[in-house]
Structures are given as structure tokens and as C-alpha cells.
Amino acid sequence: MKEFAYRRATEVRDALTLVAAGDGARYLGGGTNLVDLMKTGVEAPARLVDVRFLPLDGVREAADGGLVIGATTTNSDAAAHPEVRRRYPALSEAILAGASGQLRNMATVGGNLLQRTRCGYFADPSQACNKRVPGSGCAAIAGEHHNHAVLGWSRHCAATHASDMAVAMAAFDAVVHYETLDGPGELPLAEFYPPVGDTPDRETALPPGALITAIALPGSAVSPRSRYRKVRERASYAFATVSIAADLDVRTGSARIALGGVASRPWRARRAEAVLREGPLTADRFRAAADAELSAAEPLPGNGYKVTLARNLIVAVLTELADRAPA
Ligand code: SF4
């Protein structure tokens, strides 16, 4: 591992100033992804600015009836918080599905949003990867890509986003709050991850040097019967093959659906949501919603199975939510 300097920030402004000073400085949260990548040479920051001790942890009530989760809250604390479990159960389920207890105890909510793809070529500095080295090519598209994207990918990169938590937050219309030296800002999660296009190395819309301070879950998205379901290649922890966060109001047909494991970012299933609003909520309607969403899929030669899997998962979870609804 390349040598690096370490600084522990105690004030947000200190952290911003230390990163703005350059030298390839990076914020350090739980380190559960960044430090792994430093060991393999994929990441080589000259300085780490530790933000875990900033006063940004905890879950608090928002004025609109929602919740605000501080960026340095651990994944364990966010998943276990009684109000997260009560109002946004799909978020708690997504975090619990994401990693082992040891990792959840270290990983922060802000860091979770910023984790890098688990594409094997990205993790191997000997391979061509436009995300790691812009313009170097993409070894995955002609290579091993069975777990890559089927929606919204480009010829420059077909990697998927690794976060389960972000999928649930996309379904709940979460808003990311951040701080810069010029002042605070916010980004709806729908805009937080830009389309991959020809710049797969640009993974978020955050301004340079911005520090995530909190994630707000709107009160309008409270859904005590929401659900997160994840298909993975083994029974123990693994990144999603396909996952879904969903809630469904059976009286109105209003639904919030986001998919994981299928795109470079959490994939909000707006086509499926539109079909559900046309009602009535029958098994045929659920199948039509899934078909509408997957009609945009463009699988690679080795991952067409994900289209079938995503379709079946959408139908299964919508059916479960409808069956669970009070009569
Ligand atoms: Fe790199 Fe993306 Fe291609 Fe993977 S899919 S090798 S991350 S450019």
C-alpha cells in the first residue's frame, strides 16, 4: 500500500479545508471499501481525512414527518433505529441484507452511498477499465459480465452499483445533504448518481470536495409495509444479483419501486409505477408493470437471465405487498 497521511477532523469546516488543500486527499468513513481498494492499488490517496468523529451521527425527526439520518451514523445503528424500522422497513431490510454485522458496525451511511462498484476488472489494476482509468477501455463488455448491468449502461461501462441501502433510499425519494466551503447543498437521490454515459469515472453529482452530512427521508414516503428483497449468488452475504425496494398503496395503485443490481445506479422503476397507477391491481397488472420496466433492458450476451429475474422479482414482491395489505 502506498504511504499516506492521516488526519482526524473534529469540525466539518476542518474536514472540508483539509480535503480542499489537495494532495489527492479523501474523506475516510468506516473504510470498509476505500481501505480495501488502497490495499490493491486501485485507490492511492496521499491523505485520508477521517470524518467519523464529526458531530454528524444519529437519526432525528424532520419537520415534514420524515427522518434525517446523519452521514456518520453506522449502518448498524441506522438499520436498528426503531423509527427507521417502523416507518421505512425496506430501508432497514436493505441495510441488513448488505453486509455482515462486523461491516455494518464500521460502515457509515454517507460512505455507503459512495462505495465503488464490485466489477472484478475495476478491482484489478492490470485490466482495462474506463471507470478506474478514463479512456483505457472496458474489459467487462467483451469479458466476464454475468453480474453486470442490463439497464442504463453504456459501451463505456456496464458496472452495477453495489449499495443495497441506496436502492431503498431511491424508492423513498431520499435527499442527500452536503456541505462545501461555499455553503450547504442538497441532491435528490434520483440526481445523485448521474447516468453512466461516456464518463463512468464520474460517479456522483457532488461538487468537488463536498462532504455528505445527512440523508433526509421525506415524510411523504413513510410506508410501514414497504419491502426489500434481494437475490444473490449465495446464502451468505454477497452483492445483489437483482434486488428490489418497493411499497404499494393498494387503494390508489400508487407505488414506489427501485431495483438494484441491474444498473450503474439504483434504478427507479417509473414505467412500472405508471402501469400500476392505471389499476386494478391484479396479477396481470403486476406482470404488465414488470414487462413495461424491463422493456428498456439491453442485456449483454452473458446476463440476459437478469431480465427474467428482475421481472419475476417485481411480480413476487408486488403480490406479497398486495396480499399483506389490510382488507
Ligand atoms: Fe471498468 Fe465499468 Fe468496464 Fe467494469 S464495466 S471494467 S467498472 S468500465
Tell me the CATH number at 278: 3.30.390.50
Q: How far is the CA of 126 from the centre of ligand 1 (A)?
A: 13
- Residue 317 C-alpha cell reads as 414482491
Instruction: Spell out the alpha helix ranges (H) of 54-198.
Output: 75-80, 82-87, 89-98, 101-106, 109-113, 165-171, 189-192
Confidence band for 320, pLDDT divided at 50, 70 and 90:
very high
Q: How far is the CA of 133 from the centre of ligand 1 (A)?
A: 10
From 38, 55, 72, give the residue that closes a domain: 55
Q: What is the residue with the minimal CA distance to atom 7 of ligand 1?
A: 122
Which amino acid is present at 225? Answer: R
**pLDDT tens digits along 146-194:** 999 999 999 999 999 999 999 999 999 999 999 999 999 999 999 999 9
What value, to the nearest 5°, has the Cα angle with vertex 263 and ends 186 and 135? 90
Distance CA 269, CA 167 (A): 11
pLDDT (mean) for 44-57? 96
Evaluate whether residue 149 is within a structural domain. no
Distance CA 23, CA 11 (A): 20
Which numbered atom of ligand 1 lies nearest the CA of 159? 5
Evaluate whether residue 140 is within a structural domain. no
Mutate to test the pocket of ligand 1, among 121, 145, 147 (most ligand atoms within 8 A of CB): 121
Overall pTM surpassing 0.95 (yes/no):
yes
Q: How far is the CA of 172 from the centre of ligand 1 (A)?
A: 28
Evaluate whether residue 100 is within a structural domain. no
Evaluate whether residue 311 is within a structural domain. yes
Evaluate whether residue 157 is within a structural domain. no
**pLDDT tens digits along 258-301:** 999 999 999 999 999 999 999 899 999 999 999 999 999 999 99
**pLDDT tens digits along 290-316:** 999 999 999 999 999 999 999 999 999
Mutate to test the pocket of ligand 1, among 40, 138, 141 (most ligand atoms within 8 A of CB): 138
Residue 6, domain extent = 1-55
Q: How far is the CA of 241 from the centre of ligand 1 (A)?
A: 16
Evaluate whether residue 40 is within a structural domain. yes
Mutate to test the pocket of ligand 1, among 129, 193, 199 (most ligand atoms within 8 A of CB): 129
Tell me the CATH number at 10: 3.30.43.10
Confidence band for 235, pLDDT divided at 50, 70 and 90:
confident
Number of domains into which the chain is organized: 2
Other CB atoms within a 10 A radius of the CB of residue 58 amount to 14
* Whether residue 200 has its Cβ less than 6 Å from ligand 1: yes
pLDDT (mean) for 76-83? 98
**pLDDT tens digits along 109-144:** 999 999 999 999 999 999 999 999 999 999 999 999
* Whether residue 158 has its Cβ less than 6 Å from ligand 1: yes
Shortest CA distance to 173 belongs to which of 296, 231, 110, 88?
Answer: 88
Distance CA 91, CA 260 (A): 13
Evaluate whether residue 306 is within a structural domain. yes
In this predicted structure, the answer to whether residue 327 has a pLDDT above a threshold of 70 is no
**pLDDT tens digits along 202-230:** 999 999 999 999 999 999 999 899 999 99
Mutate to test the pocket of ligand 1, among 37, 131, 156 (most ligand atoms within 8 A of CB): 131
In this predicted structure, the answer to whether residue 325 has a pLDDT above a threshold of 90 is no
Q: How far is the CA of 108 from the centre of ligand 1 (A)?
A: 25
From 33, 55, 77, give the residue that closes a domain: 55
From 25, 55, 85, give the residue that closes a domain: 55
Q: How far is the CA of 151 from the centre of ligand 1 (A)?
A: 15
Evaluate whether residue 262 is within a structural domain. yes
The C-alpha R_g of the chain, in whole angstroms, comes to 19
Confidence band for 70, pLDDT divided at 50, 70 and 90:
very high
Q: How far is the CA of 231 from the centre of ligand 1 (A)?
A: 22
Chain-centre distance for alpha carbon 281: 28
Distance CA 308, CA 306 (A): 5
The pLDDT score that the predictor gives to residue 168 is 98
